[in-house]
Chains A and B, each alone.
Chain A
Amino acid sequence: GENVEQHPSTLSVQEGDSAVIKCTYSDSASNYFPWYKQELGKGPQLIIDIRSNVGEKKDQRIAVTLNKTAKHFSLHITETQPEDSAVYFCAAEQINKFYFGSGTKLNVKP
């Protein structure tokens, strides 16, 4: 099956700085890559996603890039704010099955 690796496991940045989280996947059959934000005590919330026929997608301060050849995709958050502090998960989807990375705990220091 698919294997998704996510780095780093923790990330601490100063408010206003950028944050980058990277994921790699193993199976070229995966074709949908969502990113989720999970706050304490809540379920994951989709923040951005990208499909395999697209290289980059941006939504305000959040962007995702996908390199199909290298099988990796990244989440970029610019102008970070304290409310961005949460755990972020990447995932890869393959025939209705979702495989998640191990998560990145982002701490934005005011």
Chain B
Amino acid sequence: DSGVTQTPKHLITATGQRVTLRCSPRSGDLSVYWYQQSLDQGLQFLIQYYNGEERAKGNILERFSAQQFPDLHSELNLSSLELGDSALYFCASSVRLATNEQFFGPGTRLTVL
């Protein structure tokens, strides 16, 4: 157990809908990263927050947004969902900014029908 929690574990929804994925980092970790893992595109970095502020942006679609709250938990919002958004979404946390060990959560499996 990495100490990073993600909810829900599974999510099934329809095209056009909006969902929110939640991540609680390990106690004491200030940095949160979001990743998308799909069969055809592998593991893709989406976005990173550090102590409530956005620090780095990867291949995150405009339909997706994220935030990190004062208690350091983070949420990833996915809207206008398409079939291609079906994937595993991972959250990872680390104590400081990059170049430090990232601890991954168990992931949320999103299925868009």
Contact = CB atoms under 8 A, between A and B. Distances in A.
Interface residues of B, number: 25
Given A32-B99, A51-B99, A44 B45 contact: no
Interface in A37-75: 41-46, 49, 51
B65 interface: no
Tell me what chain B mostly uses at the interface: helix, strand, loop, or mixed: strand
A103 B42 contact: yes
B14 interface: no
Nearest to B50: A96
Sorted from nearest, which 4 A-B pairs have the closest CB atoms?
A43-B104, A96-B56, A100-B43, A96-B98
Interface of A: 31-32, 34, 36, 41-46, 49, 51, 89, 91, 93, 95-103
12 contacts: A42-B106, A43-B90, A44-B43, A44-B92, A45-B2, A46-B101, A46-B102, A93-B98, A95-B56, A97-B57, A100-B45, A103-B42
